[in-house]
Structure 1
Amino acid sequence: MKITVENGKMYVPNNPTIPYIIGDGIGRDITPVALKVFDVAVEKVYNGQRKIEWLKIIAGEEALEKKGEPLPKETIETIKEYIVAIKGPLTTPVGGGYRSLNVTMRQTLDLFVCFRPVRYFNGMPSPMKHPELLDVIIFRENTEDVYAGIEWPYDSKESIEIKNFLKDKLNVNIKENSGIGIKPISISGSKRIGKAAIDYALKYGRKSITIMHKGNIMKYTEGLFKNAIYQFAEEKFKDTVITEKELTEKYNGKIPDGKIVLKDRIADALFQQLLLRPSEYDIIVAPNLNGDYISDACAAQVGGLGMAPGGNINFNTHVALFEATHGSAPKHAGKNEINPGSIILSGAEMFEYMGWDKVKKVIIAAIEKTIQEKYVTYDLARQIDGATKVSTSDFGNRIIKNMEEI
């Protein structure tokens, strides 16, 4: 059966059909393992009363081979139709070929939030003395900024026309051999991701939201991003959102129950503070490029992208595409050695999004137990003393074993 949306609310049947994309490269190794883990977790929690019906769809290299294009229209339409989907990594050619399929899917489906939770799992190797202090959720704006794909080669007709226009009309000189890219950031796009972050914070009891920006330099794009979110919070959430100034002057630095602190940080300062004072941050909302950087930097603090979940969500239409956050790693493809943690944890977030919170809890508990047993894939084993290095499939099977014992 299909997940449906009525009057702005998502309804999930007991046996929803969820499309999945295996992905390129290591996708063939990790995605089947993840689906197996998901099925066992659902059975564990609901004892046959609920079940996922998996529907394979294609994108990337498999689609190019079978359909002659990397992202067939029917793949996009199927995700729209079934509301929630999950995928493995997709290869993006560097310096040519087709555009990033990840970016294209986010823009085509208007998945304006890249949802990236980052937390520490006990037993994970980390370069930090206290990685457990970091527990953040990044709301990265997914459709605007320099990732909008509005760019041209330095010698293209469009690039030359733009450079001539800037020189002739605005007295702005750009070197002739410069490529050109446009950085659009809108008030409406900034407000809607601000709303999504505030709604999430209220629903799940998070205490603060930090706007990450470089508005001191890019005043009319990233400065606009910051100002639009503050303005929206003042207009729509005046009773629940307070600023840092109000926190100090009215509440003596203590966040009252039911209130959320909205603050902002310059991007480079935030990178430092997440290393020095990670416990001061909770939800981070950022423009596209900054959000990309900070998501992966935070993941490194708690063990790397191998254990970093993510999803791309439109909180208005409810369409969501969860994904492995790392690349397709072609040199490891087919070797049954890659860590499937990212896509498994992304699936856990997917279940919470569907309202199946208990499934998420079971998956996370089993993964954490498996890591504590030091029964891990090579990327973690080389960093953990006394670890047993295992294959992708064996790691998944141990998670299932631990799940059944919980």
Structure 2
Amino acid sequence: MYHQIVPPSQGEKIQVLANGQWIIPNEPIIAFIEGDGVGSELTPLMRQLIDSAILKTYETARKIHWLEVYNGEKAAELYDGDWFPEETLNAIRDYHLVYKGPLTTAMGAGFRSLNVALRHEMDLFINLRPIKSLPNLNTPVKHPENIDMVIFRDNSEDLYSGIEFKAGSAQADSLLEFLQQQLGVNRFRFTEQCGLGIKHISEQGSKRLVRAAIAFALKEHKTSVTLVHKGDVMKFTDGAFLKWALEVAIEEFLAVRHPNGRWWQIIQGEHELIIKDELCDVMLQNCLLAPEQYDVIATTNLNGDLLVDSLTAQVGMIGMAAGANLSEALALFEPTHGTVESLVGQDVMNPVSSILAGVMMLRFMNWHDAADNIEQSLHKTLCNNQVTEDMQSLLPDPTVQGTQAFAQCIISHLI
């Protein structure tokens, strides 16, 4: 079936039913891409920590059987220069769940990155980013413990789709002419050497993102979903996103007006979920002033990018966050930093982002006890002032550990 990929002799495939239900066996086969640069150091540590936590938590009742698939530099070595072999995509389709280490960004080499390929070819339309403070770290804000949000950022639309035309190109000049002569657009201040980009927001794309965010909030008994947009200025894109988002809440989840007249509320049994909205600039301000007001966020691509990076800086540093890219039948979990080639082989890279990506994966599988075990062990390690080199400025009296030693400290605290 595969040329270079060797499925494990044990374990079962994860199933995704037609109704979207995921069936996770007790011994699932999970694909992983080791990654380039520091990925070759961090991904094995993540797997060791995940395996240790599962064994400690469930003894022999549960186990992951890992399946390596290839992308990036390692794939190029195995597939005669093919950075992204087709059988990698096929394997991910077959096994549904994948952990991905950081990959080399293409610099004119002509190969596809995994993220770009999967987001477009497999329609990974949700970028899921939980943002929560870690203990014992001196962060730029006084009360980082007030930040505990889960952000649903659209992956498929908006300005990040890459629909752009270079200034001075025939395509840009033709589009400018069409906009002005055919559509009557007269707001261009300058039309010579003018680059153009397309911001597109659709009803289908908006509704499926918000539908997933509300369903998650109800399942996890969250207090609110905030719709972040810039609809006061971009009325037919961000404004439409808000309109369609509220239609989902009202028509599919039976939301009704909140007594304050500004919000909406969904009542299921004793659980009340508030639906509200914020302009993106106001949201960035309130994340500094009153982050405890927010729980689940649903937003467009560009707004989500700005919001996530701002929040992760508030709880520590951007490189310590984790993320996932999701569709109905595929889930990809990854650290949010790059390959950091300058630190390869030095045993100084911070593994927290890789570890938290593994924790996200366990929670997605509903293996919450193992995920809790890892998080608590990480917290104990930080509270003992054990950190990697890049985190020493966040503690008053740090004990600096190498990458390997720091990971072993976490493993030693598993119960």
TM-score class, shorter-chain normalisation, is over 0.9
5 Å-filtered alignment, 1:1-400, equals 1-8=12-19, 9-67=21-79, 68-93=81-106, 101-172=114-185, 173=188, 175-238=191-254, 241-243=255-257, 246-248=258-260, 257-314=270-327, 316-317=328-329, 319-400=330-411
Which amino acid is 2:202 matched to?
S
Offset, 1:107: 2.1
Task: Please report the TM-score for the alignment, with normalisation by the length of structure 1.
Answer: 0.92
Contact 1:128–1:301 under 8 Å retained in 2? yes
SS in structure 2 of the partner of residue 326 of structure 1: coil
Partner deviation per Cα, 1:271-297 (whole Å, 9 max, x = no partner): 000100010000111101111111111
Distance verdict in 2 for CA 1:302–1:310, change over 3 Å: same
SS in structure 2 of the partner of residue 158 of structure 1: helix
User: Could you tell me how far apart the structure 1 residues matched to 2:87 and 2:298 are?
Assistant: 32
Which amino acid is 1:51 matched to?
K
User: Could you tell me how far apart the structure 2 residues matched to 1:136 and 1:181 are?
Assistant: 31
Contact 1:92–1:101 under 8 Å retained in 2? no
Count of residue pairs brought into register by the alignment: 398
SS in structure 2 of the partner of residue 338 of structure 1: coil
Offset, 1:162: 1.7
Contact 1:27–1:89 under 8 Å retained in 2? yes
User: Could you tell me how far apart the structure 1 residues matched to 2:229 and 2:284 are?
Assistant: 11
SS in structure 1 of the partner of residue 182 of structure 2: helix
Contact 1:308–1:341 under 8 Å retained in 2? yes
Which amino acid is 2:177 matched to?
N
Task: Please report the TM-score for the alignment, with normalisation by the length of structure 2.
Answer: 0.90
Partner deviation per Cα, 1:162-205 (whole Å, 9 max, x = no partner): 22322331233562322222211110110111110110011001
Contact 2:163–2:197 under 8 Å retained in 1? yes
Computed over aligned residues only, the root mean square deviation of the Cα atoms, in angstroms, reads 2.3
Distance verdict in 2 for CA 1:135–1:124, change over 3 Å: same
User: Could you tell me how far apart the structure 1 residues matched to 2:247 and 2:331 are?
Assistant: 27
Which amino acid is 1:52 matched to?
I
Contact 1:89–1:324 under 8 Å retained in 2? yes
Offset, 1:112: 1.1
Distance verdict in 2 for CA 1:247–1:81, change over 3 Å: farther
Distance verdict in 2 for CA 1:96–1:66, change over 3 Å: closer
Q: Which runs of 5+ in 2 are unaligned?
A: 1-11
SS in structure 2 of the partner of residue 248 of structure 1: coil
Contact 1:14–1:50 under 8 Å retained in 2? yes
Q: Which runs of 5+ in 1 are unaligned?
A: none
Which amino acid is 2:224 matched to?
S
Offset, 1:379: 1.3
User: Could you tell me how far apart the structure 2 residues matched to 1:44 and 1:129 are?
Assistant: 36
User: Could you tell me how far apart the structure 2 residues matched to 1:231 and 1:288 are?
Assistant: 20
Identity %: 40
Partner deviation per Cα, 1:101-130 (whole Å, 9 max, x = no partner): 423322222111111001112112311111
Shifted more, 166-175 versus 125-134: the winner is: 166-175
